[in-house]
């Protein structure tokens, strides 16, 4: 358990020293109407076992509110990622997860599903991968992607 805590602390510490990759997605809605949608967050570790990630999701503060966060599809990340609960009802959140187990994804996998309230036209959002790491605590090159789900 101490090793896991140390890995997570190192993982968070890498944030300041690593570059960021960014992806932006735009959706269109009818102006003034409120509806809900989901945004799936994918991380592609490009063949490396993904043990940890940290990313930032930012949306247009005038039209988007974050109302919920689910875990991902792979068993290693099926629990919701760590985040500051104060970020709910806001437009920005930092997500982080760590799994030092043996069954880790090596291909593109959904690591989280965000639930959003949308008001107005053409909301935008983006995600920046802060860091991704393997089980042996090494930084790996990964890509973050967003995909909007069905409007509710």
- DSSP characters for 43-89? EE-TTS---EEEEEEEE-TTTEEEEEEE--SSGGG-SPPB--GGGTT
Q: What is the reported pTM?
A: 0.80
The domain limits of the chain are 2-148
Instruction: Indicate whether 4 pLDDT > 60.
Output: no
Q: What is the CATH number of domain 2-148?
A: 2.60.40.680
Q: What is the pLDDT of residue 120?
A: 82
Instruction: Indicate whether 28 pLDDT > 50.
Output: no
User: Could you tell me the pLDDT band of residue 11, with boundaries at 50, 70 and 90?
Assistant: very low
User: Could you tell me the pLDDT band of residue 10, with boundaries at 50, 70 and 90?
Assistant: very low
Mean pLDDT over the full length of the chain: 84
The pLDDT tens digits of the residues spanning 136-146 come to 999 999 999 99
């Amino acid at each position: 358990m101490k090793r896991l805590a140390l890995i997570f602390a190192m993982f968070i510490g890498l944030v300041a020293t690593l570059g960021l990759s960014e992806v932006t997605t735009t959706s269109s809605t009818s102006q003034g109407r409120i509806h809900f949608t989901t945004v799936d967050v994918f991380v592609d570790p490009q063949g490396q076992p993904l043990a940890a990630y940290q990313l930032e999701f930012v949306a247009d503060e005038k039209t988007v509110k974050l109302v919920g966060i689910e875990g991902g599809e792979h068993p290693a990340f099926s629990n919701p990622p760590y985040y500051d609960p104060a970020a709910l009802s806001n437009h920005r959140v930092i997500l982080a997860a760590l799994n030092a187990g043996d069954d880790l994804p090596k291909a593109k996998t959904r690591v989280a599903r965000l639930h959003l309230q949308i008001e107005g036209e053409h909301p935008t959002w983006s995600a920046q991968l802060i860091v991704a790491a393997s089980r042996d605590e090494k930084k790996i090159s990964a890509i973050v992607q967003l995909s909007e789900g069905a409007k509710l």
